[in-house]
Amino acid sequence: MQFIDQARITVRGGRGGDGIAAFRREKYVPAGGPSGGDGGNGGPVVLEADSNLQTLLDFKYKRLFAADDGRRGGPNKCTGASGRDLVIKVPCGTEVRHLSTGILLGDLIEPGSRLTVAFGGRGGLGNAHYLSNRNRAPEKFTEGRDGEEWPLQLELKLLAEVGIIGLPNAGKSTLIAVLSAARPKIADYPFTTLVPNLGVVRRPSGDGTVFADIPGLIAGAAQGAGLGHDFLRHIERTRLLIHLVDAGADDPVGDLRVVEKELEAYGHGLVDRPRVLVLNKQELVQDEDLPAVKAELEAESGRSVLCISAAMGANLDLLLENVWRELGI
């Protein structure tokens, strides 16, 4: 499933440091001459592709990225220090465009690849530069230039590997919220989720896998009922489905059938997609009744069923272990 993650940022190179006017004053050196140094250059802003990042979420909160300014020149023809490069890490596959014109500035695909998006301003010249035969004591110096400033549009195409499906209210959004940093709306009524929510779940290796919480499916979704139709199309490209069944529902087995039927009706090989069947809200069933509910679902589906509670955080490790195993990672 492909989603586009977008962010708008402004990048600004550092301002160049000013040159200065100064004169050499030293014992036994009369009329030592102009010695004002140049300002340092402002630092550039550089984007760098980093394979540890998966989303542009970090840019939702911080918008302006400004590199350091260059320092003023010093006496004795000392050039001021240049501003340091400001390196901003972005996920691999980030496209960088100029915001208003849409011109593509670069595509950061390979880990470690870099793109300078704003150059720093040049440092000004000190008065030592203006020494000439006609003017032995120039007072002139120049100021540093401003760095470039550009509004940018970052765009990342995300591929969700795992889709979370189930009837409305099964707890899909709750699950993605406890597994990842995603914060979708959660409520005890159906159709809370209207568009897919993405969350990045950390694997033990530290890398992330993108999960998608899909709006609830209902009977007839494959024919376009409810919100399910569009979203079935989305999950076509996931590698694995987590099918959540609400243990507190009147008829969990009936609920399971509804979703199975929709997957079948939709076609495109969705029913054959690797699937982890999960009974959520396990604490809503009496402990002694849980094995029976589980057995019924297993008999109906021919799959083994994992009992969890997304809200209480029970058996989530077990669920993820299953997911990584199914994905072969």
Task: Note the maximum CA span of the chain.
Answer: 102
Q: Which is nearer to ligand GTP, 107 or 230 (CB)?
A: 230
Q: Judge whether 161 and 231 are in contact, CB under 8 Å.
A: no
Using CB under 5 A, list all residues that contact Mg ion: 173, 192-193
Minimum CB–partner distance for residue 198 and Mg ion (Å): 13
Minimum CB–partner distance for residue 284 and ligand GTP (Å): 5
> Which amino acid makes up residue 215?
P
| 169 interacts with ligand GTP by CB under 6 A | yes
Minimum CB–partner distance for residue 186 and Mg ion (Å): 7
Which one of ligand GTP, Mg ion, none interacts with residue 144, CB within 5 to 8 A by kind?
Answer: none
Tokens of 323: 């997911």
**Interacting span for ligand GTP (CB under 6 A) from 71-79, 80-88, 122-130, 310-318:** 310-318
Minimum CB–partner distance for residue 282 and ligand GTP (Å): 7
Q: Which is nearer to ligand GTP, 125 or 259 (CB)?
A: 259
| Chain centroid offset of residue 137 CA | 56
| 309 interacts with ligand GTP by CB under 6 A | yes
Q: Judge whether 320 and 175 are in contact, CB under 8 Å.
A: no
**Interacting span for ligand GTP (CB under 6 A) from 44-52, 264-272, 277-285, 318-326:** 277-285
3-state secondary structure of 43: coil
Residue 158 CA to residue 270 CA, distance in Å, equals 20
| 181 interacts with ligand GTP by CB under 6 A | no
319's CB contacts (< 8 A; 6+ apart) are 242, 276, 278, 306, 308
> Which amino acid makes up residue 317?
D
**Interacting span for ligand GTP (CB under 6 A) from 137-145, 287-295, 296-304, 306-314:** 306-314
Q: What is the DSSP letter of 144?
A: P
* E strand or H helix that includes residue 212: strand 208-213
The binder of ligand GTP chosen from 10, 51, 192, 301 (CB under 6 A): 192
Radius of gyration of the chain (CA): 30
Per CB under 6 A, residues contacting ligand GTP are 166, 168-174, 186-188, 190-193, 215-216, 280-281, 283-284, 309-312
